Amino acid sequence: MKETTYSSSNTPLDYERPPMVEEDTSKGHDLHTFIYSLSRMFERAGYYGIRGMVVLYMISSTMDMSEGDAISVYGYFTMFVMLAKVLGAVLGDLLLGNRGALIIGGVLQALGAFVLVIPSWGALYAGMVLIVIGGGLYSPNLLASFGKLYLNKKHLLDAGFGIIYTAVNIGAFVGVVILSLISEKLSYPIGFATGGVLLLAAALLPLFVRNKSSIRNVQFNMPLSNRILKIALACLVVGVFWGIYELSYYDSFEGMQQLSASLGLPDSLASSFSTFLLLPLLIVAVVVWSVYRQGHFMKLFIGAVSGALGLGLIYLISGSISSDDSFIVMLSVFFFTVAEIHIAPVAHSILTRYANPKYLAMVLSLLLVSSSIAYRVVSYLAGFSVYQRPSMGSYIGMITMLVVSVGLLVYLLTMNRRQDI
């Protein structure tokens, strides 16, 4: 097939051929990978830590807001953060550049956290607006900048996004714990200021990354239809997975509470149990994926099957979970964690591999759109009292993940057959 060269006249929807950069299999993860990952870890620690404090701050004696109003404001805050990431991706790709956008966004987030220190209604809303705008610029453009580090070493894409996904989970967990303790033991202003320091560090770290990801003279050699199909499949699987996660959360959380009780652990650790399991498994996955090549869609297939198994186990014992079911609960959490590892970071890898690199942040934002649509579907199902019917969430989730597994298997077999022909 004749190769063509990418030019600046291409439009954002020009997927005629995928990027072809000469791959250097001798290269591994470098310092820039870990600088971006450290930045992401600090940013997630600051963001989730502040997010965990903000409702309690609004209903505290300082702001004296009713609980209902605080939850409503919090809901709008998280919704606008999601929408801002789509807009931030557009600005980063088309106007500011990915690296510039993420640095500006990080600074704005930090400024928002410092503004929250001021005990006033104006400061509260101004700080939240700055965090929304800053987060919208930072997140998609950091992921795009990170992905471009791997344009000439695509064999490490899955492992690379596994590293940054590990950083995300460490940051989110540590940030919530530390900032919650600071706000409780000291004060909310000190907690917000600490979050601001973390966000400022996240904004400054990318300054130490040399811009090595040039997209000039990038060649393309795959038909438009193939690339769109791969990107669409990855977005679909991610959307379904996170939608199912929300749908079956009640059954899974009940199981983890019973598990925590059987192990003599506090109830507060029930929601963190999967994180403790996720991190070591992610590290193992990163090491294995760095040295062993396996197709992206085979990983998605493994993730879908694992998700179905995990939900199936929860469905078997839901409605009457007791301490005697601890092993089954643990096995269910294990399978669902394996599913998350094989779906969440790998989907980012697929989009990075097959997207036009000049518009990578915009394409990566499609994962946010698919997850948002899935959340809306789940909310619609909840209106039919899905959550009030024992085990229904797990049952629907199991069946859906099985359907996704079959679909991915058919896709894999079809692709293998075409290669044989």
pLDDT in tens, 92-101: 999 999 999 9
Query: 């701050």: which residue's tokens?
Result: 57
- Rounded to a whole number, what is the distance in angstroms from the first to the last CA of the chain? 16
Number of Cβ within a 10 Å radius of residue 93: 25
Query: 């079959």: which residue's tokens?
Result: 406
3-state DSSP assignment of residue 4: strand
More confidently predicted of 5 and 321: 321
Domains and CATH numbers, the chain: 29-208 (1.20.1250.20), 223-420 (1.20.1250.20)
pLDDT for 371: 87
CB 116 within 8 A of CB 193: no
Round to whole Å and give the CA distance between 241 and 277: 18
247's tokens: 């749908």
CB 319 within 8 A of CB 392: no
Round to whole Å and give the CA distance between 336 and 251: 13
Lowest mean pLDDT: which of 18-22, 188-192, 246-250, 324-328? 18-22
Largest CA distance in the chain: 71
DSSP letters for 65-132 = --HHHHHHHHHHHHHHHHHHHHHHHHHIIIII-HHHHHHHHHHHHHHHHHHTTS-SHHHHHHHHHHHH
Lowest mean pLDDT: which of 82-96, 214-228, 309-323, 350-364? 214-228
Lowest mean pLDDT: which of 101-115, 217-231, 383-397? 383-397
Instruction: Express each pLDDT in 101-152 by its tens digit.
Output: 999 999 999 999 999 999 999 999 999 999 999 999 999 999 999 999 998 8
Question: Residue 327's pLDDT band (boundaries 50, 70, 90)?
Answer: confident
Question: Residue 16's pLDDT band (boundaries 50, 70, 90)?
Answer: very low
Question: Residue 65's pLDDT band (boundaries 50, 70, 90)?
Answer: confident
Nearest Cα residue to 50 out of 143, 200, 165, 188: 188
More confidently predicted of 219 and 115: 115
Nearest Cα residue to 373 out of 238, 230, 229: 238
- Mean pLDDT over residues 221-229, rounded? 82
Q: Reply yes or no on whether the pLDDT at 418 is more than 80.
A: no
Query: 């009292």: which residue's tokens?
Result: 385
Average pLDDT, the chain: 84
Residue 396: which H helix or E strand, with range?
helix 392-420
CB 391 within 8 A of CB 319: yes
pLDDT for 58: 93
